[in-house]
Amino acid sequence: KEIRTFEPHPTQVVETTGAGDSYVGAIAYGIINSYSIEELGIFASKVSAITIQNIGAQNSMPYLDQVMGIS
């Protein structure tokens, strides 16, 4: 087994509600779209970073274009 760690995407935290859900959802999206392990970690980190910049769970979930627009 190999253990991989990924740095969190830098962001300002407003509220952490939904961060785990958005992270897991991003992992599922990445698997369906054949992302590499590296791509999965980076993508999921970006998704949850956007999520915690807003208040609430469902309202904080980002759209794909929001995620793809950050570096």
What local confidence, expressed as pLDDT, does residue 22 receive?
A: 95
Q: For 15-68, how does the pLDDT look when each residue is reduced to its tens digit (9 = 90+)?
A: 999 999 999 999 999 999 999 999 999 999 999 999 999 998 888 999 999 999
Cα–Cα distance, 3 to 25 (Å, whole number): 20
Residue type, 65: D
C-alpha angle 67/31/35, rounded to 5°? Answer: 65
What local confidence, expressed as pLDDT, does residue 38 receive?
A: 93
